[in-house]
Amino acid sequence: MSRSALTGTRIRERRTLEGIKQADLARTVEISPAYLNLIEHNRRRIGGKLLIDIARALNIEPSALTEGAEAPLMEGLQDAASKMPQQKDAGGKVAPAPETARSEEFAGRFPGWAALVVEQRDRITALERRVEALNDRLAHDPFLSDSLHEVLSTVTAIRSTAGILNNAGEIDRDWQARFHRNLYEDSQRLAQGSQALVSYLDSVGKSEDTLSSPLEEVEAWLADRDFFLHELEQGQMPDIMDAPALRSASAKQLARRWVLRARAEAEKMPLSMVEAVVTEQGPDPAALAQTAGVDLPAAMRRLASMPAGGSFPPIGLAMCDGSGALIYRKPLDGFAPPRFGAACPLWPLYQALLRPMVPIRRVLEQHGQPPRRFLAYAIAQPLKPTSFEGPEIVEATMLFIPLDRIDLTPRENEVLGVGTSCRVCARTNCLARREPSLVLEEPEEG
């Protein structure tokens, strides 16, 4: 198993936290201070006995030095690199591409700069989406199109009429009066039309709903609350209307729909019941569904909405509709559904869509540094129809739990390798690959 190149950074952080001098730690583990310095700056890889010795000297488990919380940062960097267009300088020379093979080293040596790159990637993406939304609005918004047409038509009439009055020489008195009246009417129309247009554009400018989608606002709101809405446990509703993270009306509407369903599920599966099931049988959605008499997706959603820590392991959740579009994302460290674009088609979430009502349970290995394993449960089922005439709507749900937090040792041939999305996935020879990866060190064959 390859170790994260950020191990050195963690060693340095931990040593500083413990108040141990670099020279003292080097002496304790019997290496030179210069070599330790190289390790701490991620210039030398570390493993085996030396890693164990350093961890012991720092009073920490070796795994804590090799497995960090940098997965989102690394994925962000890879994604930022994948979106960089090929650029040429003034002399027509192609600018060098990001060294994606060294992104871990970059993040390890310059974590602040790396975080800035990812933050700017997020901001650029948000701004691009806003430009796209405004472009779309300019091209297709019927109100804007009609208003602009009205203003331009009125300006045309005013310009022609004023031109006639100014340049056409002698004009009959009746025609003069008519043109003056026309000018007056058109100036009134122009004032009203332009005022309405300005008000409309002003409201568009103030609206934040083009910066992020309603779903992203709901996810940000839930993430702020660690995906646990404690009010629901007392049968109450959380404050949606005044939540700062829920800016748009659409997001509030979406959040309300989510909360109403979560409240109904909290009533059927009280916290004490979920705790008892998890304590006795582990975080198994089938056990909870059977105990509470609910369907599997409801049990999965309820498990994923439990407070982190205590008797509950970290539990992630992804949901998609029949088109495969993700409609809910609760990420975990090492398993983050993509914010933009399509996810890995190998996820049991999508396999479940092929066989509605058939539960799937798989151990997944998320490609990464280091690879992380998860136990995933997935099922797709039709939503309750409101009439016999309506179309059949399917929703798939997938729960995932870090394998090291549950008592399960899978056989190696049962482990399914997956990724996040093709662009940032380094799995080789993947039959499900849609597009080339930007992080593959060697080209794929075939």
Among 167, 386, 387, 429, binds other proteins (CB under 8 A): 167
**DSSP 3-state of 375:** strand
Q: 362, 395, 401, 402: which is closest to 379 by C-alpha?
A: 395
Task: Tell me if 186 contacts other proteins by CB under 8 A.
Answer: yes
Least Cβ distance, residue 191 to other proteins (angstroms) = 15
Hunting for tokens 């091209």 — which residue is that?
139
Among the candidate windows 81-89, 146-154, 328-336, 394-402, which touches other proteins by CB under 8 A? 146-154
The edge-to-edge listing of strands for the beta sheet with 326-330 is: 326-330, 316-321, 394-402, 372-382, 360-366, 415-418
How many chain residues touch other proteins (CB under 8 A)? 21
Cα separation of 271 and 274, whole Å? Answer: 5
Among 185, 216, 233, 295, binds other proteins (CB under 8 A): 185
Task: Tell me if 144 contacts other proteins by CB under 8 A.
Answer: no
Beta carbon nearer to other proteins, 23 or 152:
152
Hunting for tokens 């990420």 — which residue is that?
331
Task: Tell me if 178 contacts other proteins by CB under 8 A.
Answer: yes
Beta carbon nearer to other proteins, 95 or 168:
168
Task: Tell me if 50 contacts other proteins by CB under 8 A.
Answer: no
Cα separation of 349 and 83, whole Å? Answer: 26
Beta carbon nearer to other proteins, 157 or 342:
157
Task: Tell me if 134 contacts other proteins by CB under 8 A.
Answer: no
Among 50, 157, 240, 286, binds other proteins (CB under 8 A): 157
Task: Tell me if 179 contacts other proteins by CB under 8 A.
Answer: yes
Task: Tell me if 168 contacts other proteins by CB under 8 A.
Answer: yes
Hunting for tokens 């399509």 — which residue is that?
342
Q: How many CA atoms lie within 13 A of 244 on its CB side?
A: 2
Among 22, 28, 153, 290, binds other proteins (CB under 8 A): 153
Task: Tell me if 358 contacts other proteins by CB under 8 A.
Answer: no
Task: Tell me if 382 contacts other proteins by CB under 8 A.
Answer: no
Q: List CB contacts of 418: < 8 A, sequence separation 6 or more.
A: 344, 346, 347, 364, 365, 366, 367, 427
As to burial, measured by CB atoms within 10 angstroms (0-12 exposed, 13-18 middle, 19+ buried), residue 200 is: middle
Among 32, 87, 156, 281, binds other proteins (CB under 8 A): 156
Q: 180, 136, 148: which is closest to 162 by C-alpha?
A: 180
Least Cβ distance, residue 148 to other proteins (angstroms) = 7
Q: Distances from the Cα of 427 to the Cαs of 23, 99, 138, 270, in angstroms?
A: 40, 18, 41, 41
SS (HEC) of 25-44: HHHHCCCCHHHHHHHHCCCC
Chain residues 88-107 in contact with other proteins, contact rule CB under 8 A = none
Least Cβ distance, residue 150 to other proteins (angstroms) = 9
Q: Could you list the residues that contact other proteins (CB under 8 A)?
A: 148-149, 152-153, 155-161, 163-164, 167-168, 175, 178-179, 182, 185-186
